[in-house]
Structure 1
Amino acid sequence: MMRKALPYLLLAFTTTVSFQANAGVAITEVAAWGSGNAPYEADWFELTNTGTSAINLSGWKVDDSSNAFASALALNGITSISAGQSVIFIESAGGSAIPSFISTWFGSGAAPLVGYYSGNGIGLSTSGDAVNVFNASGVVQASVTFGASDATSPYQTFDNAAGLNGAISTLSVIGKNGAFVAVNDATEIGSPGTITAVPEPETYALMIAGLGIMGLSARRKQA
């Protein structure tokens, strides 16, 4: 009876875990030095959809190390992120710095979607800070902390291509994880909009668990 039920248990397990892993986001890049060392004079971060379905960003907010939804600022200008897509959010009143950001990094070439956040209470510190992203219900969806930013030219962004939540420290290196020199500013190195989405931990858990169940089923058949 158990042998006959195993394929159905595997299917149910796969469906459940896949549903949980369908949608997820990661903060995959941070530039806390932009407000003081870039032509567009603004800090920014990259948000990547690591899931397999689009994510609606309506009501989503961002905060720094204070990590408080009540004082967080609305994410504007981008309503959703497609599966595997990376977008940029820049600290800019009304998004006024977006054209300069795009021109600096991409010139007249193709650029990723760029949204913005603005208001009091958030300013990414070059001495160390955090980025916390909340959904409309106030639940944290992605969170990173970082130490002192690159203090000398060329300025390198924090590269979180691994999609980790928690402390990040890796700096962008030209040619690695899509990093390049900004088209119109040789002092900036990063990969805005070009990081490849990483699988969520649940995806690996599903793979391992699925293989385990299949192995158990095979052994039972042999017995």
Structure 2
Amino acid sequence: MKTKTKLLLGAVAALLSTGVSAGAVIADAQVRITEVAPWASSNSPYASDWFELTNTGTSAVNITGWKMDDNSNSFSSAVALTGITSIAAGESAIFIENSVNASFLSTWFGSSSPSALHIGNYSGSGVGLSTAGDAVNIYNASGALQAAVTFGASDTTSPFQTFDNAAGLNNTMISSLSVAGVNGAFVATNDSAEIGSPGAISAVPEPETYALFLAGLGLTGFMARLRKKKEVA
């Protein structure tokens, strides 16, 4: 028993000291819908609704062939996400209904739009987002649901605040509204009636951080069980 204990402790210690391959094992790509502006088609200069996807995982996600739908919740009714084929770990990308990228950038950022901001598009019948309440569903190329949120009525008077899902909630209703100065939100440069955080990137822990964290938890649990056995003996 003592020999097995020493071997287990040695293995855990080795993992803690290196943190190498374990990171590759637990690296995971997860896409979340982190912001939605269902009022923009009627209350913004660029006249198009939009939403934000964020890769909260630790590896890039290939989104080729991915689609979106609203509250009809149907892959067969979904329309293609275009203009972006990959979202890097920790990166956010904006998808705007219709190709109004230049107007969107001018409204939100003026002449100083972030060079790293990625913008894609979508368009088609029946996927307009309703200010009375709606949903955004994201499907991969095979039709598997990857992310989903629903939301209630949005702002109908100024200021128009986006739905803020910086918490990365999934498959649930979101209701928090963007507030300037919170979670990267700000007032649009050329439209003081709009508040949101398009393209804001959330910090994502490195894979090694996860490895060390999980290894530490494992070691803590093992030592606790070992002490308990000694007390019983």
* Residue 15 (structure 1) shift: 6.5
1:141 partnered with 2:146: yes
Whole-Å separation in 2 of the counterparts to 1:192 and 1:160: 12
1:69 partnered with 2:75: yes
Whole-Å separation in 2 of the counterparts to 1:132 and 1:110: 28
Instruction: State the partner residue of 2:34.
Output: 28
Q: Secondary structure at the match of 2:65?
A: coil
CA contact (8 A) 1:162 1:198 kept: no
Instruction: State the partner residue of 1:159.
Output: 164
Instruction: State the partner residue of 2:43.
Output: 37
Where in structure 2 are there 5+ consecutive unaligned residues? Answer: none
CA contact (8 A) 2:60 2:89 kept: yes
Q: Secondary structure at the match of 2:48?
A: coil
Whole-Å separation in 2 of the counterparts to 1:21 and 1:168: 27
Q: TM-score, normalised by structure 2?
A: 0.82
Q: Secondary structure at the match of 1:26?
A: strand
Partner amino acid for 1:66? S
1:106-153 per-position Cα deviation (integer Å, ceiling 9, x unaligned): 111133111100111201000000001111111111111100001110
CA contact (8 A) 2:96 2:122 kept: yes
Partner amino acid for 2:219? M
Whole-Å separation in 1 of the counterparts to 2:146 and 2:26: 13
Instruction: State the partner residue of 1:82.
Output: 88
User: Where does 1:161-200 land on structure 2 (aligned, <5 Å)?
Assistant: 161-165=166-170, 166-197=172-203
User: Where does 1:8-27 land on structure 2 (aligned, <5 Å)?
Assistant: 19=25, 21-27=27-33
Where in structure 1 are there 5+ consecutive unaligned residues? Answer: none
CA contact (8 A) 1:48 1:197 kept: no
Q: Secondary structure at the match of 2:32?
A: strand
Whole-Å separation in 2 of the counterparts to 1:171 and 1:49: 21
Whole-Å separation in 1 of the counterparts to 2:73 and 2:27: 24
Instruction: State the partner residue of 2:57.
Output: 51
1:214 partnered with 2:216: no
Partner amino acid for 2:47? E
Instruction: State the partner residue of 2:104.
Output: 101
Count residues in correspondence: 214
CA contact (8 A) 2:40 2:49 kept: yes
1:59-109 per-position Cα deviation (integer Å, ceiling 9, x unaligned): 1000011111111010000111111111100010xx2x1111111001111
Structure whose alpha-carbon radius of gyration is higher: 2
Displaced runs of 4+ in structure 1, greater than 3 A? Answer: 5-11, 14-21, 209-212
CA contact (8 A) 2:32 2:55 kept: yes
- Cα separation, partners in 2 of 1:66 and 1:19, compared to 1, 3 Å: farther
What percent of counterpart residues are identical? 60
Q: Secondary structure at the match of 1:125?
A: coil
Whole-Å separation in 1 of the counterparts to 2:143 and 2:12: 34
Q: TM-score, normalised by structure 1?
A: 0.86
* Residue 218 (structure 1) shift: 2.6
Whole-Å separation in 2 of the counterparts to 1:82 and 1:118: 24
Between 32-41 and 18-27, report the one with greater CA deviation.
Answer: 18-27
Question: Which of 123, 126, 136 is the equivalent residue of 1:121?
Answer: 126
Whole-Å separation in 2 of the counterparts to 1:58 and 1:101: 23
* Residue 212 (structure 1) shift: 3.8
CA contact (8 A) 1:86 1:197 kept: no
